[in-house]
Amino acid sequence: MSIWREYTATCEASGEQAVSYSKFADLWQQFHPNVVVSKPMTDLCLTCQQNTTKLLRTANLPEQEKSDCLKAHQDHLDHLVCAQREREFYRNACSDVTTVFKRIEAKTRLNERHEPCSLDGTMHYAFDYAQQVHYPSNPMQPGPIYFKTPRKYRIFGVSCEAVPRQINYLIDEASSAGKGANATVSYVHLFFTHHGLGEKDVHLHADNCTGQNKINYFLWYFVWRIATELHKSIKYSFLIAGHTKFALDRCFGLIKKSYKVSFISSLYELARMVDASSYMGTNKAQLAGTHDGRVIVPVYDWVTFPLFQGSTRNCVLQRIFVIS
């Protein structure tokens, strides 16, 4: 629209007749289909954006500063080779488990609980939090709603790429326990209990939160799962920070797209919206609690669990080594 306005102003100044906006858009699609308006995006690499902006503004800078900008950008591009390798590793992991699942798909009931280590094979899961969302939500946004403070809820998703299916835990602010180790480990634990396929070996991908201690607690949680024979082996992988797009983001995007055009006045309507957000039933909603504080998905105190404390670690590790 802004380009059409400039075109119209130029035509008027030169005494030429301008075409209408709809005709202008049709001609644009006909002659320049490769030039499009950028769509909203998330989880973009901040370093890439900053380096690109600096390069665009180096025209009038001294040669030394230009050289420094180019060197910094080149160093980051070399770092992106590692990100591409990690991305390829993630894709290969998803491809491998898809092949495994196709062999057992006919006899697997997805809506039933599966006993631990009942499936002789490897499954791949990914988990992460989505951006916080609010309700009530009205696409038309009446005036009074604009000046209110909506109720907050979080979404924690665990995705099985082989099915594909994603369980989205809807966490109302009344039942929220934060985004720390206790809450995150609890949601993953309950996913394995109620929605896992009972695989012996599991491969997990997660966001790279290097500054948080919950990664350490996750490692000890996985040790506990192997010690109690809930899994035979667990592989834990991370995508490189700034380049963490994976299957979860696609399902979260479907939820956000449906959220923008849906009237939502309660947590139950929100759950129905999540279930209906994907045409093939990929997204599944699971309430973590109700608006009145009733807990549906309990959050356990893993941080003070005896496994994570003192000399108990050595005993568990000795048992793990014996099992291995």
pLDDT of residue 312: 47
pLDDT of residue 18: 92
Half-sphere exposure of 109 (CA within 13 A, CB side): 6
For residues 201 and 236, the answer to whether their CB atoms sit within 8 Å is: no
Mean per-residue pLDDT, 122-140:
84
Q: Which long-range contacts (CB under 8 A, 24 or more apart) does 253-256 make?
A: 254/278, 254/282, 254/283, 255/130, 255/155, 255/168, 255/283, 256/130, 256/131, 256/133
Task: Place 13 in a pLDDT band, splitting at 50, 70 and 90.
Answer: very high
For residues 315 and 199, the answer to whether their CB atoms sit within 8 Å is: no
Task: Place 308 in a pLDDT band, splitting at 50, 70 and 90.
Answer: low
Query: Would you call 122 helix, strand, or coil by DSSP?
Result: strand
Model confidence at 318: pLDDT above 50: no
- Which residues, 6 or more positions from 184, have their beta carbon under 8 angstroms from its beta carbon? 127, 156, 214, 218
Task: Place 208 in a pLDDT band, splitting at 50, 70 and 90.
Answer: low
Mean per-residue pLDDT, 96-118:
85
The structure tokens 């309950």 sit at 190
For residues 218 and 205, the answer to whether their CB atoms sit within 8 Å is: no
Mean pLDDT of the chain: 82
Least Cα distance to 295 among 287, 283, 303 occurs for 287
Q: Where are the domains of the chain?
A: 2-37, 81-323
Residue 266: count other Cβ atoms within 10 Å of its Cβ: 13
Model confidence at 53: pLDDT above 60: yes
pTM of the model: 0.73
Is the peptide bond prior to 136 cis by the omega test (within 30 degrees of 0)? Answer: yes
Q: How far apart are CA 301 and CA 313, in angstroms?
A: 17
Q: How far apart are CA 10 and CA 290, in angstroms?
A: 59
Model confidence at 52: pLDDT above 70: yes
- The burial of 134, by beta-carbon neighbours within 10 Å (0-12 exposed, 13-18 middle, 19 or more buried), is given as middle
Mean per-residue pLDDT, 259-268:
87
Q: Which residue has the higher pLDDT, 48 or 35?
A: 35
pLDDT of residue 149: 75
pLDDT of residue 73: 75
Model confidence at 288: pLDDT above 50: yes
pLDDT of residue 28: 92
Mean per-residue pLDDT, 116-124:
88
Residues belonging to the chain: 324
Query: Across 47-56, 66-75, 257-266, which has the greatest mean pLDDT?
Result: 257-266
Model confidence at 311: pLDDT above 60: no
For the record, the structure tokens of 307 come out as 């496994």
